[in-house]
Amino acid sequence: MFQSTFRDRKNLSVVFFAVVIALLSLPSAFAQGAGYWHTNGNQILDSNNQTVRIAGVNWYGFETTDEIAHGLWAQDYHTVLSQVKSNGYNVIRIPFSNQMVETPVVPTNFSQNNGSPINTDLVGLNAVQILDKIITAAGADGLRVILDNHRSEAGNSNEANGLWYTSAYPETAWINDWKTLASRYKSFTDASGNPVVIGMDLRNEPHLSPSNTGSCWTGDTTTSGCPTSNTAQNWPAAATRAGNAILGVNPNLLIFVEGNDCYSGDCGWQGGNLKGVASNPVVLSAANHVVYSAHDYGPNLFAQSWFNSSTSFASLSAVWNKFWGYISTNNTAPVWVGEFGTTNNATDIQNSVAGSQGQWFQSLVNFLQNNPSLNWTYWALNGEDSYALLNNSYSGIASSTKQSLLATIQFPLGGGGSSPNYSLASSPGSVTVNQGGNGTSTITVTASGGFTGSVALSASGLPSGVTASFSPASTTSSSTLTLSASSTAATGSSTVTITGTNGSLSHTTTLALTVSSTTSANFSLAASPTSVTVNQGASGTSTISVTRTGGFAGAVSFTASGVPTGVTASFNPATTSTTGTSSVMTLSASSTATVGAFTVTVTGTSGTLSHTTALTLTVTAASSGTGGVTLTPLVGQSSPWFNEEDLRMANTGTLTALSVTIVVQRTTGISFGGQYNTLGAQITQGNSSTSTAVTYTFTLKSGQTVGTGTNWTFAAQTSGTGTAHATTGDTYTMNYTTGGQSFTQTGHF
């Protein structure tokens, strides 16, 4: 038994040591990012099916007429690459032109000495040979490379025609150049045998606008559906041809396909519109090699319609999800934000002002934090660029604030000697709380490079009346952030910055906070006057006022109920504007309207909101067979008179008594100049001549009788430079006797 047990243990030991030796003999076999990369759903995986994230920079220059990476006039290319690595980036996107590939020049725009010898091994080499050197050195630093066909002829920016070819460099040349590069760099590996060039970005920023003669995407209704038979414009069909040609040379490469700018009339950034993928994706001869690429920029580059006073993290996220984010969310394919960048001005990096460059940049970083399946490369590394990551001498980071934000979304590759580090992310990235309430977001700490420490969390940028607490306050994994608003907290939108600290390591993430008022948007109604008397055959008015609360900004429509038979109600206006505050209701009684006192209810409606106010309507009877009295002001006459053009009264009976009191408005600089009698009326002024609202009383002279059908005009002599006349809202009261009966009629003009 002893011998048997010993033998079994001995055999197990042999197996154990054999496994250990086998593992030790393959030091990079399980390093994250090993080998060629491929796709699975929305993820990029390495050769061991471990998830990797492209988190890199753009280093341009080869596509320009210099045909060499820029900055080598200041630093050795090894120094520049070392800074890329030491600052946490894992991939370099290198733009080039077809002209550089086919007829490379011997570049001269680099230095051989900056106090010490630099770039000496580049002397006499042509552009492609210098590219070989940089790719080799990048691999030695543990970096990967994506080659980007930026344009056809050497020059700056993208190709103006929006296509993947020009007359000098037709599609055949474009594809052949890709095959040349795929073959050339197939053998470039690092010390662990990992390929350095892992993918090809087929064409930089294809675009359709402005004349619809550039690149279109299959299904685009503005270009007759952009059929694949339209070989001159159909970009995804051309990408398929080029992608298959590249895979025919090296079947392991990733193929990056950028969007264009417009799809069926919906336009965004050049290279940033991938809406067509939903119905017409790119399908290559080999599966799991397509990565879609979008470019995105802020209002400093162009004031897109989504940059305005209402811009928020949520509205920006909606734009990104519409154009390209949905591809990742739907698990269709990986998405790579190949270009985005901002200046080194502090407010262009972080800002809470709606529609600003800083709001866009920190929101995009936050979006990438919250969606770790998304890949990215910052534009640009170049120190001379307005969006520079390095300083002008290529000797260090230009903005530590920007670098700190980008560090939160980095992804060090295993086996590359990366330092222990971590990043922060908030989920959700947008929180809304009411005054007196609270909301939460989970802050996640993601470790990298063997980081094992605890991260202390704090919050800044809180609006007045809002406090933040973390549970726990320090964490190695995640913490719940609670944002509590007092009953008087400042309302509106703001950006809250969460900072994590561990020793000298400090990183941030942000979230959008909206504090809402507990007073919901609403309105109320009131009537003035609340009592209206009208005679049969006459009318009266009441002003319906709208009082708005809680930021209510709706239009209010009016109706009236409870009016007696023969009376109609009308409103001017029938519906207020979104800021309107009143409407004049006119109650008109026919000659046969039902007499008596009635409660009229006015209802105001705006969407689901509905409120009422009430007034008393009294309808009085007209004298039998002798008719009534009407009072007609003609408002707004520019005359220093309150005269026959301003007020006219007609009667259809015989008046034996009449007294009319009317309050009229006037401008300053006018005074009452005595009295003026017309048709037997005595006119007096009832208040100070300095008042802007003047009461006039018109009284029928004693013993005066006026026959049926007489039209009366009243005039009051005035002096000065102003005007006096009846205006909307002025009041009148008429007491008159006709047909042996006495009546009182009141109303508004």
- Phi, psi at residue 349, to the nearest 5°? -105, -45
Which residue from 379, 413, 713, 747 is spatially nearest to 588, judged by alpha carbons?
Answer: 747
Tokens 């190709």 belong to residue: 159
Which residue from 488, 503, 524 is spatially nearest to 453, judged by alpha carbons?
Answer: 503
| 3-state SS record for 352-413 | CCCCCHHHHHHHHHHHHHHCCCCEEEECCCCCCCCCCCECCCCCCECCHHHHHHHHCCCCCC
Can you read off the two tokens belonging to residue 683?
Answer: 């006119």
The DSSP code for 623 is B
**Does the annotation count 384 as an active-site position?**
no
Tokens 């005074």 belong to residue: 671
Which residue from 66, 117, 57 is spatially nearest to 89, judged by alpha carbons?
Answer: 57
Burial zone of 199 (CB within 10 Å; 0-12 exposed, 13-18 middle, 19+ buried): buried
> Do residues 691 and 670 lie in contact, with contact meaning Cβ atoms separated by under 8 Å?
no
Can you read off the two tokens belonging to residue 559?
Answer: 């109706």
> Do residues 508 and 499 lie in contact, with contact meaning Cβ atoms separated by under 8 Å?
yes
Helix (H) or strand (E) holding 217: none
> Do residues 587 and 617 lie in contact, with contact meaning Cβ atoms separated by under 8 Å?
yes
Q: Give strand pairing partners of 571.
A: 585
- Phi, psi at residue 394, to the nearest 5°? 55, 30
Q: Which of 63, 67, 159, 339 is catalytic?
A: 339
Say how many C-beta atoms besides its own lie within 10 A of residue 19's C-beta: 10
Distances in Å between the Cα of 665 and the Cα atoms of 80, 581, 712, 723, 731 are: 81, 21, 21, 8, 10
Is 476 strand, coil or helix? Answer: coil
- Residue 466 CA to residue 459 CA, distance in Å, equals 11
Report the C-alpha dihedral over residues 372, 374, 515, 444, rounded to 10 degrees.
10
- Residue 443 CA to residue 219 CA, distance in Å, equals 41
**Does the annotation count 63 as an active-site position?**
no
Which residue from 66, 244, 99, 98 is spatially nearest to 174, judged by alpha carbons?
Answer: 98
Distinct helix (H) and strand (E) counts, the chain: 11, 41
Which residue from 650, 631, 661, 662 is spatially nearest to 724, judged by alpha carbons?
Answer: 662
Helix (H) or strand (E) holding 528: strand 522-528
Can you read off the two tokens belonging to residue 276?
Answer: 């067509």
Helices in 279-376 by DSSP H: which ranges?
A: 313-320, 326-329, 346-349, 357-370
Cis peptide before 334 (omega within 30 of 0): no
Q: Which of 63, 67, 205, 258 is catalytic?
A: 205
Burial zone of 582 (CB within 10 Å; 0-12 exposed, 13-18 middle, 19+ buried): middle
Distances in Å between the Cα of 202 and the Cα atoms of 322, 324, 567, 689 are: 23, 18, 77, 86
Tokens 């009430």 belong to residue: 614
Which residue from 579, 480, 585 is spatially nearest to 532, judged by alpha carbons?
Answer: 585
Cis peptide before 380 (omega within 30 of 0): yes
Can you read off the two tokens belonging to residue 418?
Answer: 């990366």
Say how many C-beta atoms besides its own lie within 10 A of residue 221's C-beta: 10
> Do residues 122 and 110 lie in contact, with contact meaning Cβ atoms separated by under 8 Å?
yes
Which residues are tagged catalytic? 205, 339
